[in-house]
């Protein structure tokens, strides 16, 4: 299981152990969501990768949203 926690306009991807795997960000130049690993040593399990892929697909289709933060 992967928990997705909004931070600014990104989603932290956190595994069952509470470790941050990385972030899902929107790449404005490519017009798509991308996963950015927290470090080069991060190795995703098949279920973690499937959860992240499903979330990015859902974001692209509008099924999910990343809440915007109002800093005013």
Residues 13-24: pLDDT tens digits?
Answer: 999 999 999 999
At 19-43, the pLDDT tens digits run 999 999 998 899 899 999 998 888 9
- Total structural domains within the chain: 1
Q: pLDDT value at position 7?
A: 75
Whether the pTM exceeds 0.85: the reply is no
- Does residue 66 lie within any of the structural domains? no
13-19 long-range contacts, CB within 8 A, separation 24+: 13/48, 13/51, 13/52, 13/55, 15/48
Inside any domain, residue 72: no
What is the pLDDT confidence band of residue 9, given thresholds at 50, 70 and 90?
confident
Q: Which structural domain range is residue 49 located in?
A: 3-61
Alpha carbon distance 12, 19 (integer Å): 10
Q: Is residue 25 part of a domain?
A: yes
Does 20 fall in a domain? Answer: yes
Whether the CB-CB separation of 4 and 63 falls below 8 Å is answered with no
The answer to whether residues 69 and 9 touch, using CB atoms and an 8 Å cutoff, is yes
Highest mean pLDDT among 1-5, 7-11, 17-21, 50-54: 50-54
Confirm whether 32 is domain-assigned: yes
Domain contains 24? yes
Q: What is the mean pLDDT of the chain?
A: 89
């Amino acid at each position: 299981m992967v928990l997705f926690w909004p931070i600014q306009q990104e989603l932290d991807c956190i595994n069952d152990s509470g470790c941050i795997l990385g972030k899902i960000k929107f790449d404005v130049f490519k017009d798509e969501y991308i996963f950015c690993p927290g470090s080069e040593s991060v190795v995703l399990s098949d279920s973690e990768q499937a959860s992240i892929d499903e979330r990015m697909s859902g974001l692209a289709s509008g099924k999910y949203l990343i809440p915007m933060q109002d800093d005013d």
